[in-house]
Amino acid sequence: MKVVVIGAAGQLGSDLCAALGDRAVPLTHQQVDVNDPLGLLAVLREARPDWVVNTAAFHRVDDCELDPERAFRLNAVAPWNVARAAAEVGARTCFVSTDYVFGRRVPEPRRPWVESDPPGPVNVYGTSKVAGEDLVRQVQPGALIVRSAGLYGVRASGKGWTFPQLMLHLAETRGTVRVVDDQVLSPTYTADLAATIVSLMEEGARGLFHVVNEGYCSWYEFARQTFEIAGVEVDLAPQSTAAAGRRAARPPWSALASERLPRPLRPWQEALEEYLEKSGKVPAGRTR
């Protein structure tokens, strides 16, 4: 199996390349332009892959509200370009999407969203990713579409900090940290996500999968668990999304689970502990 990974220098892309080993054909944004259909096709013809994984996205949620044209160009039209070029060279497509396709309502009784639930985004970012999913399916009805959430990994995020990194930085530099407690998600370690994506490709999986670490929490609980594992004492307090004053609306409930995977990924708390150890924030094997 030969796999082109678009966005290979990113957080998820680098973990995908590590999981694939010599089966990966890593492509950075400097090597391929997903908005150039002819150039993209030429690159894929030369690579001759079995799969093309597209991790490229415009994921600065607040900035998407200011520039919806760019959001749809990178999150919808570009994935369509990738899927068309992949189909032209006989390759399967894997498109990475987001929990932010949900948020317009909260399930009652409260439970994680599964693959059969209809999306309902509340911001431009989520809407553009739903459009990307639909356009990829239009070109390749059997495409693999993977939704995940709250990504963090050892490689720095394209946004600057991963959430755990940011929390520990704020604790060190400010001593006081305020985190929203009215948004619920499923934090996911990119090493676990990458390993599962590779397994799905190896199995020839088709259609939509939710791939997240098991369980869910608020961002406040995510921060509290980070400080607890790292052994950091900090003045941590919850705040509302409204008080945080963000430009884009956020889903109050975007926890995910899968009705299609044969078994869930490990719990998010366990994955977070490994991440903090590998990042050097916690001594390996430390007992809490």
Handedness of CA 97, 99, 105, 106 (dihedral sign): positive
User: Is residue 270 within 8 Å of 219, Cβ to Cβ?
Assistant: no
SS3 3: strand
> Considering only CA atoms, which of 144, 237, 153, 229 is closest in space to residue 187?
153
Q: Tell me the CB-side half-sphere exposure of residue 161, using CA atoms within 13 A.
A: 8
- Alpha carbon distance 119, 52 (integer Å): 25
Give 187's contacts (C-beta < 8 A, 6+ positions apart).
149, 150, 152, 163, 212, 213, 217, 222, 268, 271, 272
Q: Is 125 a catalytic residue?
A: yes
- Phi–psi pair at 7, nearest 5 degrees: 90, 35
Q: Which of 125, 152, 216, 275 is catalytic?
A: 125
| Contact assessment for residue 183 and residue 218, using Cβ atoms and an 8 Å cutoff | yes
Mind telling me the catalytic residues?
Answer: 125
